[in-house]
Structures are given as C-alpha cells and as structure tokens.
Structure 1
Amino acid sequence: MMKKTLLFLMFSVLCFAQRTELIRLNQSIKDRNGLARSLTLIDNRADKIIGTIADKKETAEIKFEAEDLKTYFENRFLEDNKKLGNMDVVLMLEELKIYDEQDENKQYPYAKAKIKMSTFLKRSDRYYFINRFSNVIVCDPKRTAHAQRFLATVISDIMTELIKNSYSGVVSGSFIPENEINNYDEYLRNNFKVFLNPELKDGVYTNFKEFLNQRPNSGYSIEKNKKGKVVRLMKGDLQAPLSDMYCYVEEGKVYKLTPVGFEVLQKDAIGFYMYTSRANLFAEAKTGGVFIGAVAGGIVGALIGAAIESGSNSNAGAMHGIGFKSNLESNVYIDSLTGAYVFEK
C-alpha cells in the first residue's frame, strides 16, 4: 500500500511539473571604450514575478538566475570591466512580464513578453536619459519548440545590448532631478514642443528630434501627383530619397512613412500612434518607386540602438524587429523619447 501511495505521489508531481527557465546575462557587458565606472540597477517593477506560460502539457516559469538583481548587475559589470572610467550608468527595469495571450481571430494563444527598461547617465543627483526599450515580443508556437527558452534568451539579449549601447549613447540635454526619476517620462515630455503646442507646424521633419522640437527642415519639401499622393522628396531643387524624411505635417496632420505607405498619426493621452501591424511595419521595402530604403536591417542591437540625437531614420522603428511578425492590427505608439515603435499586443 505504501509503495502504491509513493508511486501515486511521484506520478502526481510529474503530471503537474513546472519547468523553470532562468534569465542569465550570458554575453559580455564590457564597455570597450572604458568610459563607464559603474552600472546600477533600479528595479521599479510593481510586481517582481515575471510570469508563467504553457509549454506543451506543462507550464514554464521564467525567473532571473539571481534574486538580488541590484548586486547581480553591479557584480557582473565589475567582472566584465577591469578598466573603469568616470561615467555612472543606471539601468531602470520598469516592466517585465511573460504571459499567454489569445488575440482576436487567432486559433491559439501566443507566448509574449512585455518589456520596458531605460538607461540613464547619473551625475551627482542628476539623471540624463540615454535610451529605452519598450515593447511586446511575440513567440509563434508553430515555429518555436519551447517559448520560455526563446523569451528568456531574447530578454537577456535586449538587456545586454541596451546596456552596451548606453555606454556610448548620446544623452538628453535636459536633466532629471533625483526626486523625479520615477516620473522621468512625463518630466521630459514637458520639454518638447510637440506635446505642449496645441497645433503642429507644417513641413518636413528629417528626424525625430526635429519633430519633438517642432522644427521642420526648411531645406526639404514634398511633391505630389495629380491624385494627391506624395511621389518624391525634394532637397532644394534636387530629389532626395524618401528615407531621408522621418515624417511630414500638412494642415496639422502627421504623415509617417512606413514600408507600405504613409500612415496618419493619431494622438491620445499616451502619445502619437497609428493603427497597423508588425507585418506592415516590418515588411520588406518596395524596390521601385517611392519607398526605396525605407526599411533598415534588423538585429537586436540595431533595434534598441536608436537615440533621439542620432538623426537616423533607419533606427526610428522601421526595422525587421524581434519575434513573430504578426498581422494582428492594433494601436502602435511612437515612443515619446526615442521615436521607436511600441507594440502593445
């Protein structure tokens, strides 16, 4: 009887077993220029539990390999960086959740990871924004055997690349007082005319920074055909590639170039957005006509390497991205500080 009871208990444990996948910083976070002196983590997550997803007949939970994340990141930085500079980098972890979500008109749920993290340069009690990654990564169960392994690896890669890009990233001009660091997004938005002015200035904006500051580039103009569609971008009297343009504003409306054409940006309390899909935004650019060069190649490093000051439209969100390129349409926001696409689904 005792043997049967033990066998039953062992069988029950096996039936309800839960796998655990650990997030490890497997790649180096070395600052090759030796500028950084320290890396500090601020864990601002309201809920420290990352989450659990289905894995065939089991469940799988994703965790960090260390519970004390602050010490973990600080020690890892010192392990990888023997030559230290004088720059103190801060990584703020704002949101990290994994979950299964069945979207409308989809046959089965998708495993997803919602990630939001930012980096800052700290000088005394002042913080200067460097960069941010804010997005939802989608895993297609038909193409990935174990979603938890894929997502844990992607999370690690994104963290690593964000940290490494931040060592030499251009900082924002406005500082954030230490007592406002948890409210940095709203604090910085108050410096940008695009969020303060009731009306937007008409004209061509060649990068996101110009759009934020509402300073259209007077050297550029657009030309339309008889149907009212934009057919070319002009720099003075010479034709320029449309990829030189971040967006243009006409009669107060914002038109953003995407691989499938111009999308009109709407605005709500969160910011500017368009109703579209990953499949549209990460499509290959057309090889003839107006959209040559609209899409840049996509790797994790390039995806999070965009900075406000870069002036590079190829880094402003029009990239292949990470994860499954779903055709699900939803509101896709423009990150208020980096100009990158922010998916919520």
Structure 2
Amino acid sequence: MMIKTFFLLLFSVVISAQKIQLVHLTQNIKDKSKSAKSLTIIDDREDPKIGSVSHQNVPFEIQFKDNQMENAVQEWFLSDNKKLGNTDFILLIETLKAYDEPTKKSTLGKLDVKLSSFVKKGDKYYFVSRLSDKFSFQPKYDVHIPKLTANKLSFILSKIINETYSNPTIDVALNENELKNYEEIILKQIKSLNSETLSDGVYPDFISFLKQEPSKEYAVNKNKKGTAIGFINAKNWPVVERLFGYVENGTAFRLTPVGFLEMKKDEKGFFVISSKNALSTQVSEGMIAGSLIGGVVGGAVAGAIDSKESRSSRMQKIYIDSLTGAYIFD
C-alpha cells in the first residue's frame, strides 16, 4: 500500500512538472508602410528552452506553439502582413529566460530578455533596435505568474517588431558572422562616442546625434535668463514635437520629462545625473513641450512624478544605451 501511494504521489509530481503555458501572439504587428517582405529569427542562445515559472508552487514551462518559436513568429508575421514589400527584417534572440527566484517571503517569477533587430540588405545586416530588460512578477500582486510572463513576452516581441518597421538603421554594415559581436563592432564607428568634441546644434533624434549631424531646421529657444526652454523652427515658432536634444559649446543636453539634462561621457558611454523615478515618468510630448515653453518644468511635468520619493536621494548616473538612446536602469 505504501509503495502504491508513493508511485501515485510521484506520478502527480511528474504531471505537475509537465504543465505548459503557451505564449499567445495576439498583438498587431502589421507593417503600415507595407515594406516588410520577411521576418527571420536568428536564435543565438545556448539553451533553446525558455524555462519555467510557478503558480501555486506548480512550475509551468513557457513555450511557443509546438515548442517552435521561429515557426510561431513567422505565422504571426504572415497573418498580419498579407501584402509583402521588399525589406527583410531580422530578429536576433540573445537572451530569453524565465525562472523562479526564491525570496525570504515568497518566490518571484522572473523574465530576462535581450532582443536585437536588423535590416538585411543583400548579405549585409544593419542594426535597427534593441530591447534589453528584466521583469519580476510577485505572487502577492500577480494572480497567475505563468500567464503574465507569457503575455509580457508576447508584448515585448510585438514592441520590438513594430519599432523595427519604423526606426532608422545605423549605417554600419555587418556580415552574418559578426552579429554575435555587433555591439562591439558598431560602437567603434559611432562618431558621438569616438570624437573628442561634439558638433554644436540641435539633434532631432538619437540617430542624428550618433552621426553628429545636427539639423539646420531647428534652434534652441531660451528665456531671458538664458535657460533653454525648448526648440524653435525656421519660422521662429515653438516646436511641439519632442526632439532629442542639442549641443552647445561642445556640451550635450538631452530633453527629458524634467527638462534639459547635461549628458556627460565616461568609459561606459553617455549618462545623465537623475533618478529612475524622474526619467521613467510617462508624460506626453505636448506636456513636456508646453511645460518647457511656459517655464514650468518643475510644476506640471514634475508633478507627474511620484512626490513620495525624494528625488535628490535617488540621484545617480543613469547611462544611455549607445545604440538606441534608451535609459539603462540597473
């Protein structure tokens, strides 16, 4: 009887360990410009398994349909893009891992992701975008961690794919065998990182800053005190859309939710002195522009930041991704 009970328990554990949470690819990844011809996955991971996270102490393995990520993404792409264009897009999977992380009080669900995308022209690859982040799911707040993990993964994939359709490329041609070291190769050719001095002027976007190609269409708008409050166009009208920043006397300034911040550089790249709380605040471009023009950056925009936390106590170096311009929050 004891032996029978033991095998029944063992069987139930095996069944529990085999539970699967599928990643349902439901977001819209239609290329509105209709330029996309293909979307190819290059999986650079050593371990092809994503891993598992638990719900009520039962592990769920995170999988794509038929346990084939490449096929699932390809079906998704073709389903949303009936009319194909001429551009071949590549999605490089560098890190994709789900796992449980025990804490003193519970077990967190974790998802580590690093994805990069490229445009392929002939036999050359050109970097477009990158998404690198770590996500945590807590049993106290998140009802079903495996489902949330799968949903988050689906959302991340749709985000980088949609960015890849519209973002400009970095003009550094790579061979396929160089994709493993794409960052090291590209960084050596970025002017903003490797030039001793920066070119003065307004930079509409991060790519123009990388190339050190300021725009002649815009100028910095300053108040009577000489403080930058935004940008103006050739007609001397305030620019409402959010531009990247400007360089003055060789010093770079980036537009952020709390106004212009000086960008400094060390051996790791460019950074600003601020807080995650300030820079991750979700405010609209119009709100930023309006607040700058009105000279109330410390008011309307800063008011959107959680006032419960002391910004000064959280001031730190926050680095800027040298290939995308995104903030890197450790």
What TM-score results when the alignment is normalised by the length of structure 1? 0.69
* Distance in 2 between residues matched to 1:99 and 1:329, nearest whole Å: 31
Question: Residue 147 and residue 269 in structure 1: after superposition, are their counterparts in 2 closer, same or farther (change >3 A)?
Answer: farther
Establish whether residue 114 from structure 1 lines up as the match of residue 112 from structure 2.
Answer: yes
* Distance in 2 between residues matched to 1:245 and 1:34, nearest whole Å: 26
The residue matched to 1:280 in structure 2 has which SS?
helix
Instruction: State how 1:21-36 maps to structure 2 within 5 Å.
Output: 21-27=21-27, 29-31=29-31, 34-36=34-36
Question: Residue 284 and residue 11 in structure 1: after superposition, are their counterparts in 2 closer, same or farther (change >3 A)?
Answer: closer
Question: Residue 69 and residue 290 in structure 1: after superposition, are their counterparts in 2 closer, same or farther (change >3 A)?
Answer: same
Query: What's the counterpart of residue 42 of structure 1?
Result: 42
* Distance in 2 between residues matched to 1:225 and 1:140, nearest whole Å: 50
**Residue 18 (structure 1) shift:** 7.2
Please point out which of 269, 276, 292 is paired with 1:290.
292
**Amino acid of the structure 2 residue aligned with 1:339:** G
**Residue 153 (structure 1) shift:** 0.7
Query: What's the counterpart of residue 301 of structure 2?
Result: none
* Structure 2 runs not aligned, ≥5 long: 298-303, 305-310
Return 65-74 or 147-156, whichever deviates more: 65-74
* Distance in 2 between residues matched to 1:4 and 1:167, nearest whole Å: 57
Query: What's the counterpart of residue 321 of structure 2?
Result: 335
* Distance in 2 between residues matched to 1:237 and 1:79, nearest whole Å: 45
* Distance in 1 between residues matched to 2:92 and 2:191, nearest whole Å: 26
Q: Is the 8 A contact 2:229 2:293 kept in 1?
A: no
Superposed CA offset, 1:71-111 (max 9, x none): 443455445555444332221111122356699xx997754
Superposed CA offset, 1:192-222 (max 9, x none): 2101112333444332123112234454135
**Residue 43 (structure 1) shift:** 0.4
Establish whether residue 192 from structure 1 lines up as the match of residue 194 from structure 2.
Answer: no
Question: Residue 199 and residue 112 in structure 1: after superposition, are their counterparts in 2 closer, same or farther (change >3 A)?
Answer: farther
* Distance in 2 between residues matched to 1:175 and 1:88, nearest whole Å: 15
**Residue 280 (structure 1) shift:** 1.7
Superposed CA offset, 1:206-263 (max 9, x none): 321231122344541353665x754454557846358644223355443322223444
Q: Percent identity?
A: 36
CA RMSD of aligned residues (A): 4.1
* Distance in 2 between residues matched to 1:120 and 1:166, nearest whole Å: 7
Establish whether residue 95 from structure 1 lines up as the match of residue 83 from structure 2.
Answer: no
Q: Is the 8 A contact 2:274 2:316 kept in 1?
A: yes
Q: Is the 8 A contact 2:23 2:150 kept in 1?
A: yes
Question: Residue 332 and residue 51 in structure 1: after superposition, are their counterparts in 2 closer, same or farther (change >3 A)?
Answer: farther
Q: Is the 8 A contact 1:223 1:234 kept in 2?
A: no
* Distance in 2 between residues matched to 1:41 and 1:333, nearest whole Å: 29
Q: Is the 8 A contact 2:87 2:119 kept in 1?
A: yes
Question: Residue 35 and residue 254 in structure 1: after superposition, are their counterparts in 2 closer, same or farther (change >3 A)?
Answer: closer
Instruction: State how 1:1-345 maps to structure 2 within 5 Å.
Output: 1-2=1-2, 3-6=4-7, 8-9=9-10, 19-27=19-27, 29-31=29-31, 34-78=34-78, 81=81, 83-99=83-99, 111-139=109-137, 141-167=139-165, 169-217=167-215, 219-223=218-222, 230-235=228-233, 238=236, 240-241=238-239, 244-250=242-248, 252-274=250-272, 276-285=274-283, 289-290=291-292, 332-343=318-329, 345=330
The residue matched to 2:63 in structure 1 has which SS?
strand
* Distance in 1 between residues matched to 2:54 and 2:197, nearest whole Å: 48
Question: Residue 123 and residue 207 in structure 1: after superposition, are their counterparts in 2 closer, same or farther (change >3 A)?
Answer: closer
* Distance in 1 between residues matched to 2:28 and 2:240, nearest whole Å: 37
Return 17-26 or 41-50, whichever deviates more: 17-26
The residue matched to 1:212 in structure 2 has which SS?
helix
Q: Is the 8 A contact 2:30 2:81 kept in 1?
A: yes
Higher relative contact order (CA 8 A, sep 6+): 1
* Distance in 1 between residues matched to 2:210 and 2:180, nearest whole Å: 22
* Distance in 1 between residues matched to 2:138 and 2:33, nearest whole Å: 38
**Amino acid of the structure 1 residue aligned with 2:22:** L
Question: Residue 243 and residue 122 in structure 1: after superposition, are their counterparts in 2 closer, same or farther (change >3 A)?
Answer: closer
Question: Residue 335 and residue 10 in structure 1: after superposition, are their counterparts in 2 closer, same or farther (change >3 A)?
Answer: same
Question: Residue 259 and residue 92 in structure 1: after superposition, are their counterparts in 2 closer, same or farther (change >3 A)?
Answer: same
The residue matched to 1:119 in structure 2 has which SS?
strand
Query: What's the counterpart of residue 313 of structure 1?
Result: none
How many residue pairs align between the two structures?
A: 309
Give 1 or 2: higher helix fraction.
2
What TM-score results when the alignment is normalised by the length of structure 2? 0.72
Superposed CA offset, 1:42-78 (max 9, x none): 0012443434445444444433344443344345544
* Distance in 2 between residues matched to 1:164 and 1:244, nearest whole Å: 20
